[in-house]
Chains A and B, each alone.
Chain A
Amino acid sequence: MAGSEHKGVGRRKFIKETAAGAAGMAGGAGAAGAAESAQERHEHDHDHQVVPDDIALRVRALESILVEKEMIDPAALDAVVDAYENRIGPRNGAQVVARAWTDPEYKARLLADGTAAIGEFGFLGAQGEHMVVVENTPEVHNLVVCTLCSCYPWPTLGLPPVWYKSAPYRARAVIEPRAVLREFGVELPDDVEVRVWDSTAEIRYLVLPEQPAGTEGLSEEALAELVSRDSMIGVARVAAPPESAA
């Protein structure tokens, strides 16, 4: 079972790190003995290896072992990290929203078949294979969560923020969405209907937020600048830019 395996990892790590720490203190015979027994477990000639004592080192060790075994290509890992740090993120979803605000025909296509309409931008791929877009209106407010883990539309929003994956959000979004929204600064009148989308299957959801009043004349590019990640999850409204609000 994965659970008992995990416990095994934890115990061995604990023993090993205790041994390494004790050896590092140049202590008495007991500490030296513990360090030796840690070394005895190595059945080959790599005893010079510094024992990884935090997760960054353990991850680096695993990566280098898998590279040595030719199971992974570190350049492919670099490319994935670069893609999500620099290209695949909420700016993609913001372009979709801005297009929907400025092009009624696109909006109709987006709400009828999210996958196809988002595909017009090319924002498909892993975790965006089947997209549904839900529209916020003065009468209806939509909110997206994954109570079981972290399902999220990667191609349009990138990787989810920590709070989205956290226990408080996953636990509370379905039972007290209005309280959660209030903490995010969204106060909903009682007569607004709240729809919570628990995306626990293979369909991923994007919220089409309301366009702020006074921004009708803005270009698609300027509108996209206004659209926040949180508004496309449904925990925020899109704020008007200061000049148009004035």
Chain B
Amino acid sequence: MNGIHDMGGMDGMGPVEPEENEPVFHETWEGRVYALGRSIARWGRGRNWGSFRFALESLPPADYLRMGYYERWFTVHVNRLLGSDLVTREELDSGYADASRPRPELLPAPATRGLGSGLLDVEVAARFGPADEVRARNLHPRGHTRLPRYTRGRRGTIIRENGVYALQDTDENGQRLGDSPQHVYTVRFGAQELWGDRASARDSVYVDLWEGYLEPA
């Protein structure tokens, strides 16, 4: 989706502000939200809760910019738990689990050929190889995509083939489009191809892109 999250190349965001001796978590609750996210992920199995990233990207843009990182995560966790009926609004309001409701059951994980992090143990013919000239397709899906807006329609060169990965894109409701195994390539874009004369001719941006995002140039 063409959301506020897809920030590459935007102006007006101000200076980068590093913090000296920054703690891992600024508040105790931030650590709980992070750990909670890793613990509840398994409860989504088979419940059709939308992709985490799509849910983050779907926050209203003004809220996305106003909220801190872990506040965004917390909001999305709550939305997904409510949406899958694992937790009710009344429970959240009271702070207590409703004892009259049945205990949630963990659904079996879908069968997967995954090797972790989207890498798949499948053979798929590669359409492109190193040094091939490609163009990022001019795609504007309503769901989650890993094709950054600033690369669309731009020409680049494949420098590496990284293996076969499950596509992480979703439909407009945040549902995964299936594994759709595809090669992922590292594509080098000249900085001036992306940014014109605002960039140095010497510089470049490297982006890892699924095969379906690319066409021969």
Q: Which residues of A contact B (CB under 8 A)?
A: 1-3, 5-7, 9-10, 12, 16, 41-44, 46-47, 49-52, 55-56, 58-66, 68-73, 76-78, 80-81, 84-85, 89, 126-127, 129-130, 132, 145, 147-150, 158-159, 161-163, 165-178, 180, 183-184, 190-203, 230
Contact = CB atoms under 8 A, between A and B. Distances in A.
14 contacts: A3-B59, A6-B75, A7-B60, A59-B32, A62-B36, A64-B96, A65-B95, A77-B35, A80-B34, A132-B186, A149-B5, A166-B16, A171-B10, A178-B200
B40 A200 contact: no
B95 A162 contact: no
Contacts of A176: 198-199
A148 B5 contact: yes
A117 to B, nearest CB: 16
Contacts, number: 279
A201 B160 CA distance: 14
Interface residues of B, number: 100
B162 to A, nearest CB: 6
B13 to A, nearest CB: 4
Given A80-B35, A149-B53, A171-B9, A44 B16 contact: no
Nearest to B38: A80
Given A163-B17, A200-B146, A56 B29 contact: yes
B123 interface: no
Given A41-B93, A62-B74, A63-B36, 15 more contacts: A2-B76, A5-B79, A41-B90, A68-B97, A69-B87, A70-B103, A89-B24, A147-B150, A163-B18, A175-B195, A175-B199, A178-B203, A195-B205, A201-B146, A202-B119
